[in-house]
Amino acid sequence: MMKKLAIAVVSLILLAPTLGLVTVGLVVNPTAIVCLASSGLTVGKVPDSLLVTTANGETITLDKQQLTHAATIITVGSGIEGVTRDAIQIALMAALTESMLRQLANTGAYPESGNYPNDGNGSDHDSLGLFQMRPQSGWGSVAELMDPEYQAKAFFGGPAGPNFPSPRGLLDIPGWQSMGKGEVAQAVEVSAYPDRYNKYEPVAETILVALTSGTSASMTASAARPTTVAAVAEASRVVFPLPEGTWVHTSDFGPRIDPLTGERAFHTGTDFAAPDGTPILAVADGIVTVAEFSGGYGGLIVIEHRIGSTTIATAYAHMWQHGIHVSVGERVIAGQHIGDVGSSGRSTGPHLHFEVRPGGTSGEAVDAAKWLNDHDAADLPEATAGAGCSALGGGLS
């Protein structure tokens, strides 16, 4: 039987730049936003070069050796439980910032480091390798740190990491999933220049797309990725689509008063108000079938999943155009950051309009709150037939 909890409704200003959230009587499964699966990324052919642009508009050409090191980071990360695509992007940002994806020796501090395969000589204190890790800080021996695979494993960390529990790798940073990417890189690297990692966020994204989209330069991203849900294994778990503590349940599935027209209409989703830019998470492993910006949904992502031996689609609406982080044909995993909360399309304020569609992308929507409850992803109140739009607002798709 689905649990019922009361919601303490307070007045919030949904049209403000950010949404002030209050404590409400809603309980989310605390494991719902912890991604335990690996990223599932597979590296294809490494190109001879790649033209990239930094966040400040600087254009750089990466050579095959740099891209080979990037492929190593992606491959290592994809094999570690808990490392998502976002985590791999963060690792690439860190390696770009620290060494420009060069495996650097440091013969001034450690003459023997020059005896190992390297891409040049660095001189930053006693730092070595792709992530400029320091033996004196406990990251590893000279021999270990002159191995790119070891450095990648050390950066990702976690219980199986070579340095657990200290120095901390990415997986050892509490709440890293809800932090900014540059902030996470800084938490691992502990640099004297904490803001510099963000410069390489678009570069890392370009590398990920180029190295994991296909096996030849002529292949498009969608052609290289599985495009049907049959290509995805049965989903083993369902998670909540927003990070814990960031959202307020504002509107149910079913008949209600349209907040824009004031007329009675049927609401096909469940709305969760959240601050503009809050990460939206894929609720299960699946394939992206829609990633577009148009119409009443505004920014819309639809993902198809295999759950209980049937095809289920989940839809996520009202993102800004720049808030869509996946593309059609992309394989995603439960808990992956796929987009950001916005207020585009037919919306009265920042929120996620979430739908569940049995049968697939074009299926008829069902009560998403009940579906999340039934799959142990949430503990939401049961929708009331004929419920109107709450005082907290909520968009209509």
* CA–CA distances in Å: residue 314 to residues 15, 204, 263, 366: 26, 28, 27, 10
Q: 329: domain range? A: 230-374
Residues 250 and 197 in one domain: no
Output the pLDDT for position 257.
85
Classify residue 99 by its DSSP letter. Answer: H
379-383: long-range contacts, CB 8 A cutoff, minimum separation 24: 379/3, 379/5, 379/26, 379/27, 379/28, 379/29, 380/5, 380/26, 380/249, 380/270, 381/4, 381/5, 381/6, 381/7, 381/26, 381/249, 382/2, 382/4, 383/252, 383/253, 383/254, 383/270
Strand positions, DSSP E, 39-135: 49-53, 59-63
More confident residue, 331 or 4: 331
Asked whether residue 56 is assigned to any structural domain, the reply reads: yes
33 falls within a domain: no
| pLDDT tens column, 209-218 | 889 853 332 2
| pLDDT tens, residue by residue, 251-283 | 999 988 888 788 888 999 999 999 999 999 999
Element (H, E) at 307: strand 298-307
DSSP characters for 161-220?
STTTTSS--GGGSTTGGGS-HHHHHHHHH--S-TTGGGGGHHHHHHHHHHHHS-SSTT--
Within this chain, do residues 206 and 292 fall inside the same structural domain, yes or no?
Answer: no
Q: Please tell me the distance from the alpha carbon of residue 323 to that of residue 297, in angstroms, as a whole number.
A: 13
Kindly state whether residues 151 and 216 are assigned to the same domain.
yes
Whether residues 63 and 187 fall in one domain: yes
Buried b (16+ CB within 10 A) or exposed e, 114-136: eebebbeebeeebbbbbbbbbbe
pTM, rounded to two decimals: 0.50
- Does pLDDT of 383 surpass 70? no
The 8-class DSSP code of residue 230 comes to G
Query: What rounded mean pLDDT belongs to the chain?
Result: 81
- What CATH number is given to the structural domain containing 362? 2.70.70.10
Q: CA 290 to CA 235: how far, in whole Å?
A: 19
pLDDT digits (tens, 9 = 90+) for 276-325: 999 999 999 999 999 988 778 999 999 999 998 889 999 999 999 889 99
Cβ atoms of 49 and 63 within 8 Å: the answer is yes
pLDDT in tens, 117-169: 999 999 888 999 999 999 999 999 999 999 999 999 999 999 999 999 999 99
Instruction: Assess whether 201 and 243 both reside in one domain.
Output: no
In a domain, 24, yes or no: no
Mean pLDDT of 58-64: 92
Looking at 220, 240, 268, the residue that finishes a domain is 220
158-169, pLDDT tens digit by residue? 999 999 999 999
Burial (CB < 10 A; 0-12, 13-18, 19+), residue 210, is: buried
Residues 98 and 191 in one domain: yes
